[in-house]
A and B are shown apart, each in its own frame.
Chain A
Amino acid sequence: MLNDSLWQFTGIEYLYEQFTPLTPYGIAWKNSRELITDHVALKGIYDLTEAALEFINAAPEKADKVSWHLRRLPMVQCSHQANLQLHEIFQYKKFLLNYRQIIRVLPEELRQLFGLSFDSKELLSKLDIDKTEHETFYVSSKYDDNLRVIRQAIHDLDDDMKKRKAELCQKLVQQFQLDFHFRDFLVIPNESAAALPKDRLFLEPYDSCHVIVKPIFDQDYQQLLANRSQLVAKEKQLEQKIGAELSEWITNEVPTINGYTQAVRQLDIAFAHARLALQFNLTRPVINTRDTPISIKNGKLLPMAEHCRNMSLKYWPLNVDFNDPVAVLHGSNMSGKTVVLQTIGFLQLSAQLGMFVSADKYETTVFDEIYFVGDIASQKIKGLSSFGQEMTVLIKALQNKTENAYKLLLIDELVRTTNSAEATALLSGLLQELSQQTRVRSYIASHYYGLPKLARLTYYKMKGINWAGLLDKEQSTDRNLTERIRVIQKQMQYEIEPDTAKPDRDAIRIARLLGLNSEIVDYAQQYLDQENVL
């Protein structure tokens, strides 16, 4: 199960909640939220998704039928338990009927691909002895002729008792105006009850002024009731015997049925992945070996893309090739550094949860562990300062929990709360360590410059504001805050490029644009020019 802070940071829930398997088997798989770390298993899932996609596109009506039957598949308890109860036998019948229908709809090549076959014809014919193919179950009289005889006898008794009851009710209406037609009992005043014959009507107190009256059935009727009870007991015994036989049939076939449930789980998951891919125009990720670069072409953080659409803002997809295992991302405030990290996490989680990804191309590798180190409410630790919390999470991420685990670290603004000199020093130490690790890939967003140049480490920066594109009127101090933010967002170029030059001084200019006192901003600019620091 993935940790909540990573889940929250990447916004993956936006996509994952739309991934909707239809069977209890697929739903259980979804709810496990397991990160798939087996390269071959992941490719296998993608292959099945592609096959499902092809089928949905080629035969949408048949795909709908498959979904219909998938939705109706119940969870069957596949154990070697003897003596299944009737409702459990019903579940097996319902499962087999729908499973067989799915197989009938799917073409041969898909059946083979998903390992779907139906070898339970005999069992199903036992469960559906009346050959109705209805998703219902009862112990049919066809299982045993004695059952038919007993049920007929009960039926005859019921008819007899119904007739006698109707006659009795009719007499009671005629003689005492007591109508039990719609009522098991009546409540009548005490004075009315006084004259009623106690051998024909049962009376008991209701309140101080009324009594409850019920008809008393004669001895013959009581005898019929007793006979019925005996017959029902015999019927139950026979039903239990038949149930035990059917249970044995089912339990003998448990290994086969287990195979069915695994096959439908795969089918269900593949169809759900395919529907998701169609809904969000997702593409199959490319899973490479661990020493190859991560490459993203038009990668989208879907929740952010929707947010931009709602705000009528341009969304900038991510385009980048990360050749080195350590990447430091610089950029001014509001330039989108964090969004880059979120996008990487979103794409990687999508891929390793078995889904296709929101990118024109996403080439990556499989990580055994993925960590997020940064400021997220869900990872707050009571009693620790922000700095203490960051360090705790970082230590955990760097620990070798599993031997030879290949890790992905997404680190957002580490040590942002401490003084800049120590922060830079700590960050430098971390980079030194990470650049020497062969089994870790790290993406680090940071404000801090003055960091070391190291092998296997590349600096990137966000392109930032297109100052040349800003109109004079857009820089006017007359605008309100919302308008100013909008101007910044409009002119911000959320693109990533290698950072080879001196840092941009966007933060000071953005502060000015947001309306910070010009004396402060001017002094800051002069200070920076004098210091001339990286």
Chain B
Amino acid sequence: MTLDFQQFYKNTTFIVGNDKHTGKTTFLKYALMNLRERGYRPAYMSIGVDGEGYDFLHGTSKPTIIVQPGDIVVTSAHCLESSDAAYQILNVFPQVTVLGRMALVNIARSGFVELTGPENNQQLSAILDYIQNETEADTFLVDGAVNRLSQVSSNQSAGFVMVMKVTASNLIQAAEQIRLLHLLIDLPSCSNCDSMPITGALTESRLKAIPEDCKAISILDFTRVFLSYEQMQSLCDKYSVSIKNKFILRYFIVNLFDVDKAAFAKMLDDHIRQHVVFNPFMEEAIC
């Protein structure tokens, strides 16, 4: 499976991870290089201070991005001050974060920029709206977190890439996460007014509280589900399950560590494998 970057064009894509230090920013860099090469004009940002202090691959401090001329970037005024890139300020957003005001800039000369982002969903939504409506960028990337997805659910073009770090110790768990997420993404949109809405988290104890005579249930979005794949599968067998806020899954990016690709692929069904890209940074055919 190879990445089709056309899917990112004219759309907003959140790069989320199944854990901290899974390689989200590394993937962002990789995506940016590919998008620029195709002539797209990317706009990108990170989310607030997420506590991920170093790059999982290199153990360096908070990953920086090499921005290129024409890129549209959101970061804090503080981070811009320490950048060696040249930029033109396009806007300064009113919300104040711990790292100062968020600024929108058009890059005039390449250089390093540390990305920081808005701290809450409201700020994120306002900034995304502004970038989409007021700049010439055509591809929008957010180095983000799963819990930020709910905020952009109203934006029909919003999708996400799930970056996963798979090691020998989390192999089975990771495969189950992929299966569960795929199952949730495949659920139909909620159109049945009679379905029972599950507000808040869908947990094992919440399952027990569903009335016996209930036939259909609806979930707000997949981030609210805290069940195993088997539990979710049996729920789908028992009830008509729908989802209110659907998100477009673009890819599972799976970074394998000491795990054989074929062995892991075998743990996933064919229709799921179609969405999985293994180690995009790995060069396999070397003479």
Instruction: Name A residues whose Cβ lies closer than 8 Å to a Cβ of B.
Output: 24, 74-75, 85-88, 90-91, 94, 135-138, 151, 154-155, 158, 176-179, 182-189, 192, 206-210, 212-213, 228-229, 232
User: Residue A186 contacts which of B29, B80, B92, B283 (CB distance < 8 angstroms)?
Assistant: B283
A136 and B106 contact, CB distance less than 8 A: yes
- Kindly provide the distance from the CB of A227 to the nearest chain B CB, expressed in whole angstroms: 13
Q: Check A87/B84 contact, CB under 8 A, given A136-B89, A136-B90, A187-B281.
A: no
What residues of chain B lie closer than 8 Å to A88, measured between beta carbons?
Answer: 92
Nearest B residue to A162 by beta-carbon distance? B110
* Given A85-B77, A87-B103, A212-B57, A136 and B286 contact (CB-CB distance below 8 Å): no
Task: Give CA–CA (A75, B93) in the complex, Å.
Answer: 10
* Residue contacts A-B, CB under 8 angstroms, 11 given: A86-B81, A87-B77, A136-B90, A151-B109, A155-B109, A177-B286, A183-B30, A186-B283, A188-B284, A210-B282, A213-B283
Residues from 55 to 107 in B contacting A, C-beta threshold 8 Å: 57-58, 77, 80-81, 84, 86-92, 94, 101, 103, 106
Please pick, from B88, B101, B279, B283, the residue contacting A179 in the complex, using a CB distance under 8 A: B283
Min C-beta distance of B267 to chain A, whole Å = 18
**B33: Cβ under 8 A from any A Cβ:** yes
A158 touches B109 (CB 8 A): yes
Q: Are B77 and A154 in contact (CB under 8 A)?
A: no
B136 shortest CB reach to chain A, Å? 12
What does DSSP make chain B's interface, helix, strand, loop or mixed? Answer: mixed
> Closest Cβ of chain A: how far from B149's Cβ, in Å?
27
* Docked CA distance A206–B87 (Å): 35
Interface centre among A138, A158, A179, A189 (most CB of B within 10 A): A138
Chain B's closest residue to A204 (CB) is B58
Would you call B258 an interface residue if the criterion is a C-beta within 8 Å of the partner chain's C-beta atoms?
yes
Greatest chain B CB density within 10 A among A86, A186, A192 is at A86
Name which residue of chain B comes closest to A139, CB basis. Answer: B86
B287 at the interface (CB under 8 A from A): yes
A138 and B282 contact, CB distance less than 8 A: no
**Given A176-B286, A229-B84, A185 and B281 contact (CB-CB distance below 8 Å):** yes
Say yes or no: is B108 at the interface (Cβ < 8 Å to chain A): yes
Contact of B108 among A135, A138, A207 (CB under 8 A): A138
Beyond contacts A151-B86, A155-B109: 19 other A-B pairs, Cβ-Cβ < 8 A, are A85-B77, A86-B77, A87-B101, A88-B92, A90-B103, A138-B86, A138-B89, A151-B109, A177-B287, A178-B283, A182-B30, A182-B37, A183-B33, A185-B281, A187-B279, A187-B282, A189-B284, A207-B257, A229-B84
> Whole-angstrom distance between the alpha carbons of A179 and B258 in the complex?
23
Least Cβ–Cβ distance between B251 and chain A, in angstroms: 16
> Does B193 lie at the interface of the complex (its beta carbon under 8 Å from any beta carbon of A)?
no
Q: A179-B283, A232-B84 are in contact. Are A75 and B33 (CB under 8 A)?
A: no
Contact A90–B282 (Cβ < 8 Å): no
